Every structure is written in C-alpha cells, then in structure tokens.
Amino acid sequence: MNPKRRPIIAGNWKMNKTSTEARDLASKIMLLVTGVQDRDIVLAPPFTVLQTVGEAIRGTNVALAAQNLFWEDRGAFTGEISAEMLLDLGCRYVIIGHSERRQYFGETDEMVNKKLRQALRKGLFAIVCVGESLAEREQGKTNEVIERQVTGALKGMTEADMMKIVVAYEPVWAIGTGKTATPEQAEEIHILIRRKVLALYTHDVAETLRIQYGGSVTPENVSSLMAMQDIDGALVGGASLKPDSFATIVTFT
C-alpha cells in the first residue's frame, strides 16, 4: 500500500447466489462494513441479482459492480448486457477481462479493449484483469504475457480514462486454488504493470493507478499482501461469499 492511493477491495461473487441468498449475503456484509470510510468497497454479484444487491447497498459506502458487459449500445446481441443496463441498476464499476472470461468464453485482448472503451465511454469505472497461467509462468513467459495484456487492454486510453481504471493482477494459477502468490511474487508483477503504464503515460498516471491483487485472498493473507508498496487492493472470489471473511479482508490493517 502507498498512502497516496486509496485501497479498493472488491468481492467477485462469480456465478453464485440466487436472489434470496444474495439479499442475505449483502445485508450481512453491510452490517459488518458500514462505517469503513478510508477505502473503496465494491460488490460484484451476478447480473440477475444486481438489482437486489443494489437495493441493499443504496446510499452506503459500498459500490455495485457487474462482472462483464458487451461493447455495443443495444440491439440484436442475444444474451448480452449493455453498459446502459448496468448504469440503470446502479452499477458504478464493471469487471472486464477476468481470466475466466478469457479462458472459458474466448475473450481476447482486443475484446477486453472494446469492452473497456465502452465502459468508460458510458461513465463506468472499470476493473481490468490480467494474469498469466501456470504454464506461462513455468515457461518464463509471465512478464511477456502481462505486458501484452496490459498494452492490449489499454490501447487508445487517454490520461483521463486512466483515472477511471483499476488493474487487477490475478495469476490464473492462484484463482480458486488456495495457492496465493507470495507478497513478493505479486509485488514484482505489480511493479512491472506500473512500469508499463509509466512507459505509456505520465509519472502521475502510473503513480495514481490502483493495482489490485486477486487469487486466493483470505483474511489470513490480506495484510501481508497489502503491506507491499504497489499492492493497492484485492479482488476477492471465494472469500467474498462469506460475510465474516469478506468483512475481515475489507477491514485489514
């Protein structure tokens, strides 16, 4: 953490929770995190419960996020969701390019870039995910993959756009596996990302950019991760489905 950057903790619920379950989880989380003012807190439930969770957090210190969006405004795109629909439900953020989208749904860097452009054009803040697979890490390709993903996602972004972007570094081998990157491993890639952004933009943009770590973040490891200079937050999957765990992660010291 660096005092110049406000921490941001986001819970990615992935494909979990019916509306009754979502209402219950959101209200339990709210009881535990109201009053936390020195960091940004974001919940990203599935599309089907955005409204439900939105109602539970309306007017509070917790912001609503979607897990995906489509890059067109409207039209014949069966099964897709537009930025306008997300805004209508009260979303402030959208997660873009999660590794599960890249892996299972064929999202490319180019698609990630189109989604990012659309999100920003419509006034959403974006959490853009990057991360290498285990095979890529073992082949020594981590840096190359991260640089390619960062450059691809950010293509055409202005300095003003960069102020609305959070990058999440999520090594694929650490997601849902219980195998967290060590704080040093994560920090190394966060520095790499910041350097890449510095090469593309100004010092100010690179220093202001918030970079979250994601991949098996737990109440036990959050503090050691957040102790690193260039780790500015966490994108939490599994542990965000348990109110106590998520609240403990949010209130890390």
Tell me if residue 98 is catalytic. yes
Contact between 219 and ligand PGA by CB under 6 A: the answer reads no
Contact between 170 and ligand PGA by CB under 6 A: the answer reads yes
Nearest to 239 by CA among 175, 186, 189: 175
Give the integer Cα–Cα distance in Å for 68 and 13.
12
Q: How many CB atoms lie within 10 A of CB 246?
A: 26
In the complex with ligand PGA, the residue whose CB is nearer, 54 or 233, is: 233
Contact between 235 and ligand PGA by CB under 6 A: the answer reads yes
Q: H or E element: which one contains 40?
A: strand 40-44
Near ligand PGA in 127-146, by CB under 6 A = none
In the complex with ligand PGA, the residue whose CB is nearer, 99 or 118, is: 99
Unique residue bearing structure tokens 């290498």 = 132
Contact between 211 and ligand PGA by CB under 6 A: the answer reads no
How many residues touch ligand PGA under the rule CB under 6 A: the total is 13
In the complex with ligand PGA, the residue whose CB is nearer, 124 or 168, is: 168
Give the integer Cα–Cα distance in Å for 200 and 58.
37
Contact between 12 and ligand PGA by CB under 6 A: the answer reads yes
Contact between 214 and ligand PGA by CB under 6 A: the answer reads yes
Strands 91-96 vs 165-169: parallel, antiparallel or unpaired: unpaired
- As annotated, the active-site residues are 98, 170
